[in-house]
Chains A and B, each alone.
Chain A
Amino acid sequence: MEETLTFVTLTLAATLRVATPLVLCAMGGLFSEKSGIIDVGLEGKMLMAAFFAAATASLTGSAWAGVVAAIVAAEALALLHGFACITHRGNQVVSGIALNILAAGLTVVLGTAWFARGGQTPPLNDGERLKPIFFPVAGDNVLVYVALLSVPFTWWLIARTRFGLRLRAVGEMPLAVDAAGVSVAWLRYRAVLLCGLFSGLAGAYLSIAQNAGFSRDMTAGQGFIALAAIIFGKWRPFPAFGACLVFGLLDAVAIRLQGVKVPGIGEVPVQLIQALPYLLTLFLLAGFIGNAVAPKAAGVPYEKEH
């Protein structure tokens, strides 16, 4: 009995730990998508942020300096995305993919050049990491709480504020926003910057909270999982949060089940469980998500003389 309880508690804690970067990333992506800017570059932003967080923490010895560096790095990519898609009306998907490739390459090149460890940053000691606040076993560092708070915050900002109203409008019908005397470009830039902020935090979490250092490609597709969570959540914060938790749970279970023999089945192949989030994504995308809920102007550059 007690064993089951521990198992459940530990699995839940693990779920939260794994879901944290997904939640942060998903909330960031939500802002961008709501404004009509598709962001497939979440992955790249998170990776770049993770690298700069670890590198800075290692060089300065301060975890907080690492967090700041992560945000700056992610914002730089976010601005690049904005410059390409908002100012120059480029294709948003292409720009996002380009950022992912850029981040994958740059982190390794810089890592190798600076630390000569095959793309990794030096392992961080405890002082250079964000540490658990209340429950050491649960790993409840500050970013976990930030992630939990980011959900109601995002909901409130989108549903209850002037900024949110305009954000929703610009994703649906930018022309109406323009005609109302509000700058479409500035709104979208702010959305993209918010996205940079959150994906920066997600990246910092990966390398200086959950792990003790950066390793190449350490995001491993989590940016895309976050994107899937946004879609499952039909572009709404709380349902997207729920989707992140489900993905987190699957992952946590996968880790727990490693090497465990299930009666009657034998050892469950880890690969199968690791593939579950992706299978679930395909399954849900194919069958359960209506497509009428995406912001109507998503992916469409705004041209004044339409």
Chain B
Amino acid sequence: MQSLTAAAAAIELRGIDKSFGAVHAVRGVSLAIPRGSITGIVGENGAGKSTLMSILYGLYRADAGQILIDDRPVDMASPRDAIAHGIGMVHQHFMLVDTFTVLENLVLGAEGGPLLAGGFAAARAELTRLGQEYGLTVDPDARIADLSVGEQQRVEILKVLFRGARMLILDEPSAVLTPQETDRLFEILKSLRARGVTVVLITHKLREIMAVADRVIVMRQGAVVAERRTTETSTGELAELMVGRKIRLDLDKAPAVHGQTMLAARDLSLVDRRGVRLLNGVDLELRAGEIVGIAGVSGNGQTELLQVLSGIRPPTAGQLEVCGRVIDPAHPIDPAEMRALGLAHVPEDRLRQGLVAAFEASETSILGYQDQPPYCRNHLLDVPAVDKHCAELMRRFDVRPQTPGLRSSHFSGGNQQKLILAREMSRLPKVLLVGQPTRGVDIGAIEFIHRELVKSRDVGCAILVVSVELEEILSLADRILVMSGGRIIGEVAADQADERVLGRMMADA
């Protein structure tokens, strides 16, 4: 395929092909990425974007095809080769050791000598420099497990910068970032480009591509279907190229019909072991038939709020009432009981809390409901019934590939999310808590998920949506609460809110 620009290609792929068993993930992809440019790659969930990049990074081996770096054919047998050729990658699913500190993760693989002490000192200095240069600050001694997803992302980017990569691949970097963080990331990418770094950016957010990329490559079902200069295309055209049909993201939903209160939190507080106040007197009411959105910069207590509301963590103080049952520090509850009350939860962190990576999709599709009929009879799983249920969910929610027997980790990120949503929504819960409903999901699927959520609302489900996407909150919610510093700092009716109003509330906090 001929490149759109005359500049020399930093990366060139020729006829890359890759299958996983029966799944033909990448089909004869050829493309060229000019040096010192930002190239976007877009495509539906499961289009093969991550697989293609993993091949380029040496994590997977292509079945056929050739990779050229700086016009020379190279053998990417392992990430070591990729790193040696100056390629760095920020993966869709973070490659961080949870129990390690930021510093330890940073130097892993680039320790700068057999002893750690020297490497640590150098890394600390470099961290300060990168922090100043790009405004990327993290506490070098914090443990990864204690960081928010946004901060973990920052560590991933720092890791790549620390290694001085000349080519940078980012797989959905903004999926977990707030709009402000995303803007900052794009500033970083632009300044990297100015320094001659070649950037490849995978994202589902077409507006981001338009804002930051020079060129964009569209993939569908494993193949490259189009290549455009961003100046010569539009989000509408890209969306259509991606899904093969027109997309409508504006929801025209009827006004909410409020029912009775299904969930009420009064003065809810959560203090962790180290005495840090994570939730600070949260009052909240959720009624049947409405969608309440929680907006806020990530790391301001939204994660913890979902944990407390779903029964994963007991509150330290305050009271919670769910479907008539009162929960307080003296009367804790566990997630299974919550589920029995009719509360369903789609966790923010799908890999860790939403599914078991090693389980088959069919097992993931009943996780949490495994002891209920029709999946379970006389303490035995009814495997055919489970498979049938899973196949049904996959059809309804368009999970691809529609293979109940495939391991959950073998689905692309967006398809995992659809499967989890399908599981929780299909139980017709009375209360539905959703964290980041469309994180990493393609626009066709966003359209679908939003419509399903509104449908649930219309049949009387009380829905709480936590999202860092203001746009999503604005289009879904009937009422919007803004969270900051572990408390709810304001409420706006959806028809009176726009991004500026919410942004101002978040900034003033």
Contact = CB atoms under 8 A, between A and B. Distances in A.
Interface stretch (B97-105, B173-181, B470-478): B97-105
B249 interface: no
A180 B109 contact: yes
Interface in A155-185: 160-166, 168-169, 172-173, 175-183
A156 B113 CA distance: 15
Contact of A169 (B79, B83, B100, B115): B100
Contacts of B108: 165-166, 169, 176-177, 180, 182
A181 B97 contact: no
A3 interface: no
Contact of A182 (B20, B100, B109, B119): B109
A36 to B, nearest CB: 12
B89 A179 contact: yes
Contact of B59 (A160, A169, A173, A179): A179
A168 B114 CA distance: 15
B116 interface: yes
A208 B83 CA distance: 49
Interface string B253-276: 000000000000000000000000
Contacts of A160: 115-117
B80 A181 contact: yes
Contacts of B97: 168-169, 172-173, 176
20 contacts: A160-B116, A161-B114, A162-B116, A162-B119, A165-B107, A165-B108, A165-B111, A169-B100, A169-B108, A172-B98, A172-B99, A173-B97, A173-B98, A176-B105, A177-B108, A180-B83, A181-B79, A182-B109, A296-B99, A305-B20
A304 B61 CA distance: 10
B96 A176 contact: yes
A246 to B, nearest CB: 27
A176 B82 CA distance: 15
A-side interface size class: 20 to 34
Contact of B60 (A169, A180, A305): A305
B137 interface: no
A276 B437 CA distance: 55
A261 interface: no
A159 to B, nearest CB: 8
User: 6 nearest interchain CB pairs?
Assistant: A180-B109, A181-B80, A162-B111, A181-B83, A176-B95, A179-B95
Nearest to A300: B358
Given A165-B107, A172-B100, A173-B98, A183 B78 contact: yes
B422 to A, nearest CB: 23
A166 B409 CA distance: 25
A161 B95 CA distance: 21
B110 interface: yes
B91 interface: yes
Interface in B50-75: 57, 59-60
Contact of A163 (B82, B99, B114): B114
Interface string B4-34: 0000000000000000100000000000000
Contact of A304 (B59, B95, B96, B113): B59
B359 to A, nearest CB: 13
A161 B100 contact: no
Given A179-B59, A181-B109, A173 B114 contact: no
Contacts of A183: 78, 80
Contacts of A175: 95
A306 B409 contact: yes
Contacts of A305: 20, 60
Contacts of B107: 165
A304 B55 CA distance: 12
Interface string B80-98: 1011100001010001111
B103 to A, nearest CB: 10
A175 B93 CA distance: 11
A201 B100 CA distance: 32
A128 to B, nearest CB: 38
B349 to A, nearest CB: 15
A173 B99 CA distance: 10
Contacts of B79: 178-181
Nearest to A297: B97
A281 to B, nearest CB: 26
B431 to A, nearest CB: 30
Given A169-B108, A172-B97, A304-B59, A181 B78 contact: yes
A178 B81 CA distance: 11
A99 B97 CA distance: 32
A183 B58 CA distance: 12
A175 B80 CA distance: 13
Contacts of B96: 173, 176
